[in-house]
């Protein structure tokens, strides 16, 4: 099933042992435009850190409950690379600027 990423912003991320945060953004593969990672804001659980969660571990997307279940524990998500330390090109982390 296809889901609009704009509709999935804010969805709660649920690990195998409980809720861990919410979807804050997405990272796409440049060549294929495939969503590769969810940027998950875990500030309510591990103190304000945004981590990357691979789409390979997604279990279920429940649009009605606005939840995404993953095949990871909270501890595994806590140990995921943060947006700040991941090997991402700087241009990927900068906000879009429109000059008119």
Q: Does domain 5-93 have CATH number 3.10.20.600?
A: no
Say what the pLDDT of residue 98 is.
53
Signed CA dihedral, 32, 35, 37, 42: sign only: positive
State residue 90's pLDDT score. 47
Segments making up each domain of the chain, as ranges: 5-93
Residue 24 has a pLDDT of 93
Per-residue pLDDT of the chain (100 residues; tens, 9 = 90+): 677 888 899 999 999 999 999 999 998 888 888 899 999 998 876 666 889 999 999 999 999 999 999 999 999 998 888 877 766 654 444 444 555 5
Integer distance in angstroms from the first to the last C-alpha of the chain? 37
The model carries a pTM of: 0.79
| Half-sphere exposure of residue 63: CA atoms within 13 angstroms, side-chain side | 8
């Amino acid at each position: 099933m296809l889901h609009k990423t704009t509709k999935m912003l804010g969805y709660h991320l649920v690990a195998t042992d409980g809720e861990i945060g919410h979807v804050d953004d997405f990272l796409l593969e440049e060549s294929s435009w495939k969503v590769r990672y969810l940027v998950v804001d875990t500030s309510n659980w591990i103190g304000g850190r945004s981590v990357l969660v691979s789409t390979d571990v997604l279990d279920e997307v429940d649009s009605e409950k606005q939840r995404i279940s993953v095949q990871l524990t909270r501890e595994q998500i806590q140990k995921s690379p943060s947006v700040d330390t991941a090997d991402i090109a700087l241009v990927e982390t900068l906000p879009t600027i429109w000059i008119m």
